[in-house]
Amino acid sequence: MVKPVILTLDDEPQVLNAVGRDLRAHFRSDYRIISSGSGPEALEVLQQLKQRNTPVALFLVDQRMPDMSGVEFLSEAQKVFPDARKVLLTAYADTEAAIASINKVGLDYYLMKPWDPPEQNLYPVLDDLLGDWWATTPLPFEGIRVAGTLWSPTSHVVKDFLARNRIPYQWLDIDKDAEARTQVEGLFPNAAVQLPVVYFPDGSMLVQPNTSDLAARAGLQTQALAPFYDLIIIGGGPAGLGAAVYGASEGLKTVMIEREATGGQAGTSSRIENYLGFPRGLSGADLATRAVAQARRLGAEILTAREVTGVRVEDPYRYVMLNDGTELGCRALVIASGVTTQKLDVPGVTELTGAGIYYGAALTEAAFYRGEHLCVVGGANSAGQGTMFFSRYASKVSMLVRASSLSKSMSQYLIDQIAATENIEVLTRHTVQAVHGQERLEGITVRNHDTDEAYRIDTPALFLFIGAVPHSECVAGVVERNSAGFILTGPDLMVNGQRPKGWKPQRDPFLLETSVPGIFAAGDVRQGATRRVAAAVGEGANVVSQVHQYLRTV
C-alpha cells in the first residue's frame, strides 16, 4: 500500500527542517513526509500526487509566508485534497488569522511556535487528527484509473480492452465526478477536452491511447523475445490458447499473438455452463485467465495488442508480419484468429457505436444501465448468455431475433433460463430498422415481420450479437478460403479426390491443415468448425499433434 503523505510548508529553512525532523521521528513508518519552502511549489507537488492517486492525510503549514499565506495555501490545497486535515503553524501575532481560518477553510487546529517538546505539544494533536482521517477517509484505488464519460466511444474502447485483459482499473465518470472533471479539464486549459485520460500509478498518463501503447504501459507483453519459433499461433481465443498450452507442453518453442484480448469472443461470455468439468459453469474471463496462466507456466509467450497483417511462405519456413513493422519466423503456423460480430447495416449505427450501441457482451457497461430497458439483437448462445447477464441489471431486456424461434441456434439450457426470467421478452421475427439519438442512443425502431408493423422502443443501450465474420484477412491470397472468408482445411480442400493446387507433399492435407503445408487452422475461423468453446479447445490441442506430424516430414 502507498503511504499517505504529510505535507509541511514553511518558507524558513531552519523551521522547515525542524518540522520535518520531528515528523519523521514519529510518523516515518506510516507516512511519507514531504517538505516544501513555498506555496506555489507545494501546490505543484499536490497536483503530481493527485495524478499518482497518492493520498494526502495532513497539511502542516506556516501562516506567515511572502508568496502565499498559510490560509491562502490551504484554501487552494483543499480543492485538490478536500479530506486532508489542516493544521496552521502560527506566531502569537497570527492567532487572530488562525481563528478566522477555522470558518474560512475549515481549519482543524492551529499550533503556536515553538512546539517543543513535540511529544507533548505536537504528536498528540496530529495523532488524533490522523486517526480521524483514517477512520473517515476511504483510501484511493492504487491501480490504473480511466477518466471519461459513458457516452465516449474511445472511453468504451479503453475500458473494454482493460476489462477483457483482466487488468483492474477504476472508472472515473467526469459527468458525475466533479473532482475528476476538474482534474481532466486542467490538462486542457486552452483546448477541447480529449477522452479518455488514463492515469497510471507512477503519475504518468495517456490521452486517447491506442491499444498497443495501453497494453505496454499496463504491463502486457507486446514484443516477441525471439525472431524465430517452432510454432506461431495467430489468435488468443479458446483454440489459440489450447494450441499454446499443448504446443509449449510438448516442447515446441511457441508464441501466441492476439490483437485484442486473450479469450476471444468466449472471453466476453458472462457464464459458460456447458463446459466439461465445471458443473456450476464459469465465466469466459475465468477460463481465459486460467488458460493464459497455464500456457505461460508451460513456457509459451503471449503477445497482446499485436495484429498480424500478413503471412508469407519461404520454404521450409513461414513468416508473419506484425502491425508494428516487425516480422517473426516459424517452422509451423496455426491460424486461430476466430470471428467477430457482423456489423449492423443501419444508418446511424457507426456514429453511436460505443455511445449506447455495443458489439458483443460489453460486460463493462452493463452496470451503468441499471434499471433501464435494454435491447439485445441475436439468437445464438452468445446473445443468450449476454441477455441473461444484462437481466441482472436492467428493468427489462428485449431480445430481438430474426428467426421464428431460439431453438434453431441456441442451447436448450439457455432457452429454458431465458423463459424462466421475468424481465426478459423474446421478440421473434423482429429486426432493427433505425436507431435514434445524436451523441448517445435514445431509442430504436424495430419491425415485426409477421405483422409488418414498425414501432419504436426507447432504450439507452443496444447490444449486437449478429452473425460471424472470420478474421482471415492476414492469409488472403496465401491459403484457400471460401466466399465468406472461412479457411478451408483437410477434406474440404480435396476436390474430386485431387489435392490443392501447388500442393507438394506426397500425402493428403492433415485434417486441420490448410492449402499450404505447415499452415494450419483451428477454431471458428475454419470452415465447418463446431462453434462451441470445448470444440475450439479440442481443435487447438489436436492441431499440435498434426504440427508434430508435419515437422517430422520436413
Question: Average pLDDT, stretch 505-527?
Answer: 97
pTM for this entry: 0.83
Q: Residue 199: pLDDT above 90?
A: yes
Q: Are both 228-340+468-551 and 349-464 of the same fold?
A: yes
Note the pLDDT of residue 99: 79
Output the pLDDT for position 1: 67
pLDDT of residue 219: 93
Residue with cell 445464438: 380
Q: Which of 49, 41, 51, 48 is nearest to 3 (CA)?
A: 49
Confidence (pLDDT) at 202: 86
Q: So where are the chain's domains?
A: 5-136, 144-217, 228-340+468-551, 349-464
Average pLDDT over every residue of 314-335: 97
Asked if residue 122 lies in contact with residue 111, where contact means CB atoms within 8 angstroms, the answer is yes
The pLDDT value given to residue 172: 95
139-143, 273-277, 379-383, 498-502: range with lowest mean pLDDT: 139-143
Average pLDDT of span 456-464: 97
The letter for the amino acid at 468 is: A
pLDDT, residue 303, reads: 97
Q: Tell me what pLDDT residue 14 has.
A: 93
For residues 459 and 175, give the distance between their C-alpha atoms in angstroms, rounded to a whole number: 20
For the chain, first and last CA: distance in Å? 55
Per-residue pLDDT tens for 74-123?
A: 999 999 999 999 999 887 667 777 777 887 889 899 888 888 899 999 99
Q: Note the pLDDT of residue 93.
A: 65
Report residue 349: phi and psi, to 5°. Answer: -65, -45
- CATH class, domain 228-340+468-551, is alpha beta
Query: Can you list the pairs that 223-227 forms with residues at least 24 positions away whose Cβ atoms lie under 8 Å?
Result: 223/303, 223/326, 224/255, 224/301, 224/303, 224/326, 224/328, 225/301, 226/253, 226/255, 227/327, 227/328, 227/329
Mean pLDDT of 361-378: 90
> What pLDDT, on a 0 to 100 scale, did the predictor assign at position 186?
87
- The whole-number pLDDT of residue 142 equals 83
Give the DSSP H/E element, type plus range, for residue 170.
strand 169-173
List, for residues 43-66, the tens digit of each pLDDT value: 999 999 988 889 999 999 998 898
Architecture label for domain 5-136: 3-Layer(aba) Sandwich (3.40)
Pair 40, 68: CB distance under 8 Å: yes
Per the CB < 8 A criterion, the answer to whether 198 and 205 are in contact is: yes
Question: Picking from 29-33, 62-66, 439-443, which range would have the lowest pLDDT averaged per residue?
Answer: 62-66
pLDDT, average across residues 408-427? 95
Q: Strands, E, within 209-253: which ranges?
A: 228-234
The CATH homologous superfamily of the domain defined by 349-464: FAD/NAD(P)-binding domain (3.50.50.60)
Collapsing DSSP states into helix, strand and coil, what is residue 102? helix
Residue 15 has pLDDT above 70, yes or no: yes
User: pLDDT band at 464, cuts 50/70/90?
Assistant: very high
- What is the pLDDT of the chain when averaged over all its residues? 93
Tell me the DSSP string of 47-63: HHHHHHT--EEEEEEES
The fold of 144-217 is: Glutaredoxin (3.40.30)
Q: 495-524 b/e with 16+ CB inside 10 Å = b?
A: eeeebbeebeeeeebbebbbbbbbbbbbbb
**What local confidence, expressed as pLDDT, does residue 351 receive?**
94
> Mean of the pLDDT values across residues 304-319?
97
Give the pLDDT score at 283: 87
SS3 sequence, 243-268?
HHHHHHHCCCCEEEEECCCCCCCHHH
